[in-house]
Amino acid sequence: MTRKNLGRNVLFSAGLILLATFVSTLCLPVPAGAESAGIGWNESIAAKKGKAKTIADLAAYYDSSGCATCHKEAHAQWQNTSHSASLVGTGRTADVFWGFIQEGLMKWNYSGVKGTGDVKVEHLMACAKCHLPQLADADDDVAREIVAVLAERQGALERKDADTAGKATAKLRTLNISCLICHNRNAVMHKWTDGYPKAGEIYGSKDGAHPGPGYTVMKKSPIMGESILCGQCHGLGPNLDLANPTQCTTLYGSYIYAYRSQGGKESCQDCHMRKNKVGHETRALYDPKLIQSALDVKTVTHGFFWRDNRQYVPRVIVDVSILNKAGHAIPDSVSSNHRLVLSVTAKKADGTQVFSQDKIYMQVPQYLGRGGKMGRAAYEKTGVVEDSSLAPGETVHEKFDFTLEPEEETAGKRKKLFSELEVFVSIRQLNPDDAQNNTGHTLYETSRTVTIEER
């Protein structure tokens, strides 16, 4: 072989080695979305560890138990929130997850899911995008393991096997919106501008050293004090980026377009963490006191006689005004079971009820907003659906107007019509767990005595 050909062969072999190295680099496990990632994506927790293979792996990736060593109060507050059990909630969240699989994925013609063994990560992201965003950092075996645990829990509940159901629920609770989701994984949104969250770094309000185990650096997050941090999950509305769009939370959209656009100044953190002094407990949906503080309610009653053809009848008008002082719509859930109920009733002096009427406030029911029982595409064919939620900064005026039967006429004397009436006004908050008994939490309650003079 000539020296010239030998040189060519050496260069060719070196080129093959470089090409093989490049190809092998491309085959390394990468987090979801890394195909279009910029510089630094491979420094993240998920990229460093690779795709999680089990629930235990994924739980360990974002385990925040070590945070409690130094941040006992914040960790204790977090444990009282739904964030700490985002796959379970009060129990209903896990039920809805299971219903989504049974009534949605397994019944949609083109989902590719005929049985629970067909479920992949992409199928669960319709719910997990908010309830478990780190599922994108796991492989499909984790998705199927989650489904298996949900099935075990559901079966145990049906058999009234509390022990098995409890163990399944405990396993689901290991996956949650932990400290490391907000203070690492989701702490930077504009990654090409601000960089990628790195393993070993905690993101907060300032730069510096961090004494925690495994996380020795503290970096300032551009969004830690901004509402957009929360808006990643408490979002704008339909998740149109998904293969099968879902209509879920519209809270951040309400905040941006109906509150900030009208001059509102407060952030989510201002109202839900700082002003109420609850810190990481972030009271919200299930805190009647917080909702009560956001409503300014006034009631005015009028009683008079109304001429109805040839007779005078008692007539009562009840005016109720409700000002929403929050930075978003109330109620803020698109579950049709989450609503406010304004009730007005009227009783005679002997206790006989003569009038009763309710007014419901709620956002577009989720199943209608998505076009079908378990979420078809949001076709926008929802003309019969009304969003009656209370808009931020606006006052709703409700008028209840009713007439009553006059009392018996005394022979030879003037008619004695109604003399006195008691009007009761209340506003109740119903959460999904209250829907069956229709009781809920009373946010406002008053009564008015309406006197109607004899004529």
Name the 3-class secondary structure at 202: strand
Q: At what angle do helices 140-159 and 92-99 cross, to 10 degrees?
A: 110
- pLDDT tens-digit map of 70-93: 999 999 999 988 899 999 988 889
Look-up of token digits 């260069």: 11
- Cα separation, 42 vs 44, whole angstroms: 6
Domain locations in the chain?
Answer: 1-30, 36-224, 284-451
Q: Tell me the whole-structure pTM to 2 decimals.
A: 0.82
Q: Is the peptide bond before 365 cis (omega within 30 degrees of 0)?
A: no
Calpha distance 135→52 (Å, rounded): 9
User: Which tokens sit at 288?
Assistant: 């009647």
**Residue 439 pLDDT:** 67
Lowest mean pLDDT among 6-15, 273-282, 324-333: 6-15
Q: Is the separation of the CB atoms in 116 and 148 below 8 Å?
A: yes
User: Which one is the CATH code of 284-451: 3.40.50.2300, 2.60.40.10, 1.20.1250.20, 3.10.20.30?
Assistant: 2.60.40.10
pLDDT at residue 130 in the model = 92
Share of the chain above pLDDT 70, in %: 81
Q: Residue range 275-304: average pLDDT?
A: 85
Sign of CA dihedral 209, 210, 213, 215: negative
The Cα 328–Cα 237 span in angstroms is 13
Span 99-145, pLDDT tens digits: 999 988 999 889 999 999 999 999 999 899 999 999 999 999 999 99
DSSP of 374-387? T--------TT---
Tokens of 182: 């907000």
Q: What is the mean pLDDT of residues 214-220?
A: 94
Contact 37, 43 (CB under 8 A): no
